[in-house]
Amino acid sequence: MARMTTELTPARRYRGAEAEERRAQRRVQLIAAAVQVYGERGYQNATVKAVCEAAGLTERYFYESFANSEALLLASFQTVTHRLLHTLALAGEGAGGDGQQRALAMLRAYFGALQREPRSARVFLVEIRGVSKLVDGALADSLDEFGALLAHALLPPGRKLDPLLGAGVAGGVVHIALRWITHGYAPDVEEVARTALQLALVLAHEPD
């Protein structure tokens, strides 16, 4: 009698990996479609069906990756945020010079990205607000990360960031961005970045 074994054959392992890759790719498609649909219609006016149609997938595949629309919104926001913060970090690292120059480079990159990708900007700035406590928590985390990036450029080594101040400065920059977008991206990126820098410099002030 042949001995039983639970070890997967190479062919079965390959098929399993291939299936996981396809599932991951479908998830990426759904997130990209959500950014597009939410950016055009708004989250509250978007349906699962609309997102699936934009992704070229059936609703069956939506529920393979996401429990509901809120879970997709959260994943979309986290994807947009990760990409944006990575762009800012690279801009600061490549700027050289002193802390103000690095922070200004980050802010140029921030406003430039919002202008280039208005759908992503809407997800990042508008659609994420007030959906649920979980989603609000993700927004708060993103403000903390944004403030920490600016503080890393502006604070001298060894000086700790006040997390409330960091979140407040980041939130202020976000409000500048919202007003800037409402006014048709005027003034230009350079001017709005320098305006936002004046707020960010609060982080470098010595505490009393």
Give the domain-ending residue among 66, 96, 111: 66
Residue 76 and residue 62 share a domain: no
Residue 56 and residue 97 share a domain: no
Q: Tens digits of per-residue pLDDT, 19-75?
A: 889 999 999 999 999 999 998 999 999 999 999 999 999 999 999 999 999 999 999
Q: What is the identity of the amino acid at 123?
A: V
Give residue for tokens 């202020």. Answer: 172
Return the CATH number at 114: 1.10.357.10
Provide the H-helix boundaries in the chain.
10-41, 48-55, 59-65, 69-95, 99-116, 118-122, 133-154, 163-182, 189-200
Does residue 2 lie in a domain region? no
Q: Tens digits of per-residue pLDDT, 127-159?
A: 888 888 998 999 999 999 999 999 999 998 888
Alpha-carbon gap, residue 136 to 144, rounded angstroms = 13
Cα 177 to the center of its chain, rounded Å: 15
Return the CATH number at 25: 1.10.10.60
The greatest distance separating any two alpha carbons of the chain, rounded to the nearest whole angstrom, comes to 83
Where in the sequence is the domain holding 89, given as residue range(s)? 72-208
Q: What is the identity of the amino acid at 149?
A: L
Side-chain-side CA neighbours of residue 145 (13 Å):
16
Residue 163 and residue 124 share a domain: yes
